[in-house]
């Protein structure tokens, strides 16, 4: 089984409900200038994507950094993305990894997964499959679908973890149960491919683990 290369969005847009109207933008800017971290990251996202203001990577970085320095995880993640791509700042994998780690340590699943992928590739951090698996597992446990997909392959192939078809089946099964459309079809296909390598007892164990995971991670209504 060859893992799908997961492309994690390096920028998370937080532009929700802010219309391209000057009074609203002025009010948001006033809050940001007063040190409101959520307003700062929102204004950064607006400059990042050119939503209601001229697109400006340098301004996006400036506002992201102000919020990131206050410890706002999503701002740290977005700033990391700017360093990863070199938008508004010189491209710097080490600096990107530093900010991803800060966000990941606060429990932001997308940052945990991205940091794991970067360990797997040695981008800005020492290449370390076990460390990659650790971060991806944290994101998978938070229900992040890309992390669950990759973790299924990691267990199937023994990348950074002992090869374990039971765990691989469980994670593909988890992804299938929470997904729709093509993502669900892909997860079912990989789950069934792993099942062909397993005994009935192993499949039953994987299904039991999936039920236990569901019980420990109830979905929000």
Q: What is the pLDDT of residues 124-140, one digit of tens each?
A: 999 999 999 999 999 99
**Cβ 103 vs Cβ 80: under 8 Å:** yes
**Which CATH number belongs to the domain containing residue 31 in this structure?**
1.25.40.10
Write b or e for each residue in 153-181: b if 16 or more Cβ atoms lie within 10 A of its Cβ, otherwise e: bbbbeebbbeeebbbbbbbbbbbbeebee
Burial of 199 (0-12, 13-18, 19+ CB in 10 A): exposed
pTM given for the model: 0.85
* Structural domain boundaries enclosing 19: 1-106
71 domain residue, yes or no: yes
186 domain residue, yes or no: no
Encode pLDDT of 25-43 as tens digits.
999 999 999 999 999 999 9
Query: What's the chain's average pLDDT?
Result: 90
Q: Which residues are CB-neighbours of 124 under 8 A, at least 6 positions away?
A: 92, 93, 94, 95, 96, 97, 98, 118
25 domain residue, yes or no: yes
32 domain residue, yes or no: yes
Q: Is the pLDDT of residue 15 over 50?
A: no
189 domain residue, yes or no: no
Q: Other CB atoms closer than 10 Å to residue 103's CB: what's the count? A: 26
61 domain residue, yes or no: yes
Q: Is the pLDDT of residue 10 over 50?
A: no
Q: Please give the tally of structural domains in the chain.
A: 1
210 domain residue, yes or no: no
38 domain residue, yes or no: yes
End-to-end CA distance of the chain: 35
Maximum separation of any 2 CA atoms in the chain, in Å: 64
């Amino acid at each position: 089984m060859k893992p799908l290369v997961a492309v994690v969005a390096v920028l998370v847009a937080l532009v929700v409900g802010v219309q391209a109207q000057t009074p609203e933008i002025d009010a948001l800017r006033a809050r940001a200038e007063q040190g409101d971290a959520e307003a700062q990251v929102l204004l950064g996202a607006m400059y990042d994507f050119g939503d209601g203001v001229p697109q400006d990577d340098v301004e996006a970085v400036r506002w992201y950094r102000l919020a990131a320095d206050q410890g706002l995880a999503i701002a740290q993640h977005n700033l990391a993305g700017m360093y990863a791509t070199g938008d508004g700042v010189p491209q710097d994998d080490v600096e990107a990894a530093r900010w991803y780690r800060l966000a990941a340590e606060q429990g932001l699943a997308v940052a945990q997964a991205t940091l794991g992928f970067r360990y797997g590739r040695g981008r800005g951090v020492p290449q370390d499959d076990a460390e990659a698996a650790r971060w991806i597992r944290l994101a998978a446990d938070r229900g992040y679908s890309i992390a669950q997909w990759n973790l299924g392959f990691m267990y199937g192939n023994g990348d950074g973890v002992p090869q374990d078809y039971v765990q691989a089946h469980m994670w593909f099964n988890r992804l299938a149960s929470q997904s729709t459309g093509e993502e669900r079809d892909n997860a079912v296909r990989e789950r069934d491919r792993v099942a062909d390598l397993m005994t009935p007892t192993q499949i039953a164990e994987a299904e039991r683990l999936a039920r236990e995971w569901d019980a420990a991670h109830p979905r929000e209504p």
